[in-house]
Amino acid sequence: MKQKFSICDSIMTPAQMQPCTPELLNAVFDNQQVINACREIATRHQEMLEGKLTRVAFKKVKTTLKEDHLPVICFHATFTDGYRHNETAVPSGLSIYDVDEMQEDPRAYYESKVRGREEELGICLAHISPSTEGIRLVFVMPEGMSLAEAQQWMADQLHDETYDGSVKDMARCSFGVCRDYILYYNEEKLFAEREVNVPENPVTIVTKDNAFVAPLLPPTTDETFEDNFNGILYPQIVKQMEELLGGVPAQGARNNFIFAMACNMRYVCNDNPHWIAQVMPRYGEEEAKFQSTVRSACNRPQTKTVPEMVTRALEQARKQQQVEEAVEASGIHASQPPKMPEKLTKFMQLITKNVPEHLRPAVAMSVFPALGAHCKGVNFRYVDNVLVEPSFMNVLVAEMSSGKSCVNEPINAIMADIKERDAQSRKLMKEYKEQYDACPSNEQKPERPKDMVIQWVKSDMTPAAFVQRMADADGRFLYSRMDEIGLLNQLKTNGKGNNVTEIIRVAYDCGDYGQERVGVQSVCEDIEVRWNWNASTTPGKCRRFFSDSMLDGTLSRITFATICTEEDRLPVYGIYDEKYGKQVQTFVQKLNDAKGIIISKDAGALARLMIEENSRFSALTDDDTYRELSYRATLSAFKRGMVLYLLNGKKWTQEIEDFVRWSYQYDMWCKMWIFGEKMRHAMELDKAVLVPGRRNLMEYLQDTFTIADLNTVRRAQGMKGDGAALLRKWLSRGYCTFDPATQQYTKSPQFLEKHQKAA
């Protein structure tokens, strides 16, 4: 009898498994959606290896891409009712040997251990896993073996001592991959007819990971169930209930755990065993035994009042769901920065029209330092009634040869009038120096002209030159553009260099600066620093340049941009001709004409709303890094909105509001991507200095205690989060025991013997 395996379009539709055919399987290998998903995962994996992405973030991105775009194949079995669960599984006679997060290259592993032994090992299919870190072998099970025994047999044949034997059940499925990942494929053997003899008592070794992906029991009635309880999704409730019950159970403790869980879930599932079975994982328990345990829990007398544990689980689940929803809405952990609004102001349409679409966000964010340089005597009133000026500093962070020079021509078009005036001033300066050097005595030397305004300056300046240029500007902004972030260190603001971050912080706030000298010819000025600039660099160089400035406020004052593209094609630009330059200057003239205090009630209302939203998000996520960066990022977004307000003839529009919101989210995404982990680490170290050496937390607890007692102690010690993970560690090490009935932990005799409570 021909036994088949099964296939489904997505892991999110476990009720649509169908027998697999060669045509269906080959269609998966060549599916463009599968190819694109595999490429995306491979790209994110490379970013993780290069330190641009944490492993946690990579896993999250990988999981999302697999669940959203990859079909699943269950090589173990087909299912008589189309549901992927053990109860109706018909074994195929195939098993899989799956190794992930390998230390060596999967292709090298296959070449050294498997190549040439396919017939001996019964291998039908071998491919690299979607993560690119593992390998999967599909093979014919030796006769009379269970899944566990077959996989262990393969591990023995390959002399793989590190294989953990974590055999999943018959319903365990695998994500499909593209054809480029296939190392070996014997289609005839994979789909061959074979007799299947399954042992009466198959061995199933369950791991913690397997417990969460166990298939759900389909309802046995026509009744449909809600996926939430009062707006709280059931997976969140289950997760919090697990934590309160001491964590996912180990083998041997599953039945009692499932019973306790079901007893509590009755209160949020209308006391319906089918509903409970649909929302609860199996934790590796056999299906029949699982159902029997759930039914027993529902037959137990139920109290009229909701147990405290259920109330606590619902409260914690609601909070956690709010956090996850806030994080998802912010897009702060997305694999790509937020997309720029489709509808833009007329100026933004003009300034970005000559670059390809993937470069437009970088141009849109990078032109503001040049725009701000045209504002003299312009102040914006912020929500705290403080007057702020259009000070902007932008760093474009992207890989080499990614097109970072795309911002140059738009900036040149904006700065054309300033560059023309600078040329006249530089000519006048040259003539003055020649006359000065030609005079033999100080009495005959000419006075320095008063109208030599030079705004576009180089970064390579002495303190005297910087102060003199600022004094000559008479309230205007100086501007610099650097092709590499390291050139900032050329500005030797104290004669020694390498402390440019100090002047950056002063420049953002338009603060006081100057120098005092006793020499007659020396520059002695007291000025307000107005200096806007653009720089570009690669991610690694950017992190190194600002490595000592994680907590001094420098990063929050700078706006960051990046370039994201998966295309290798040469970008094609539009023409920056005289007509284009005149169109840009028509807008720029509005900035030149602006004077005094500019107020927009709409901009102020938006800023207040964004501050409130950001504060709520920071509180929900308890993310100090995001909180610290958000304050000035909101102010910078407000200032960008005010500049667009001036460019639009002092008319506030929905396009401006959408751009302000996007520019804030985009800036924050870039900052968290580049510096998030480094800043968190720096903040933890900074706080650790203030916390004295901690004592054994159990010393502060009674011999019998609850998780609430532990959390109270943790807060008193300045620790964040709850102690669920710590309790699991204590339980695993035998420091304490847990009583599900009373929800209390008791210190073990062994612990008390070795660690008597301190006086």
Q: Which amino acid is at 716?
A: A
What's the rounded mean pLDDT across residues 39-67? 85
**pLDDT(252) > 70:** no
Q: What is the pLDDT of residues 486-539, one digit of tens each?
A: 888 887 655 444 468 888 999 999 988 865 554 445 566 778 999 999 999 999
Query: What pLDDT, on a 0 to 100 scale, did the predictor assign at position 14?
Result: 62
How far is the CA of 317 from the CAs of 230, 239, 325, 696, 725, in angstroms?
11, 8, 12, 29, 16
CB 95 within 8 A of CB 75: yes
Q: Is the pLDDT of residue 141 over 70?
A: yes
Point out the least confidently predicted range of 5-14, 371-380, 533-542: 5-14
Phi, psi angle pair for 533, to nearest 5°: -155, 160
Mean pLDDT score of the chain = 83
Torsion of CA 384, 511, 378, 614, to 10 degrees: -40
Q: Are 481 and 411 in contact (CB under 8 A)?
A: yes
Question: Given a cut of 90, is residue 557 above it in pLDDT?
Answer: yes
> How large is the C-alpha radius of gyration of the chain?
33
Instruction: For residue 341, give both structure tokens.
Output: 């609004």
346-415+456-686 and 697-754 agree in CATH topology: no
Whether residue 7 contacts residue 20, with contact meaning beta carbons closer than 8 Å, is answered with yes
105-119, 236-250, 329-343, 391-405, range with the lowest pLDDT: 329-343
Nearest Cα residue to 454 out of 419, 410, 493, 483? 419
H or E segment and range at residue 353: none
Torsion of CA 363, 368, 371, 377, to 10 degrees: 180
**Which residues, in sequence order, are CB contacts of 458 under 8 Å at separation 6+?**
480, 490
Q: How confident is the model at residue 730 (pLDDT cuts 50, 70, 90)?
A: confident
CATH 1.10.1760 fits 697-754, yes or no: no
pLDDT digits (tens, 9 = 90+) for 316-344: 888 777 766 666 665 565 678 889 999 99
* Pick from 404-408, 567-571, 650-654: least confident: 567-571
- Single-letter amino acid, residue 284: G
**Distance between CA atoms of 359 and 565, rounded to whole angstroms?**
9
Domain range list for the chain? 6-205, 228-330, 346-415+456-686, 697-754
CA dist., res. 279 & res. 276, Å (int): 5
Is the pLDDT at 1 greater than 80? The verdict is no
Give me the pLDDT at residue 198, please.
56
Topology adopted by domain 346-415+456-686: Rossmann fold (3.40.50)
User: What is the rounded distance in angstroms from the CA atom of residue 322 to the CA atom of residue 621?
Assistant: 9
pLDDT at 214 over 90: no
pLDDT in tens, 584-597: 999 999 999 999 99
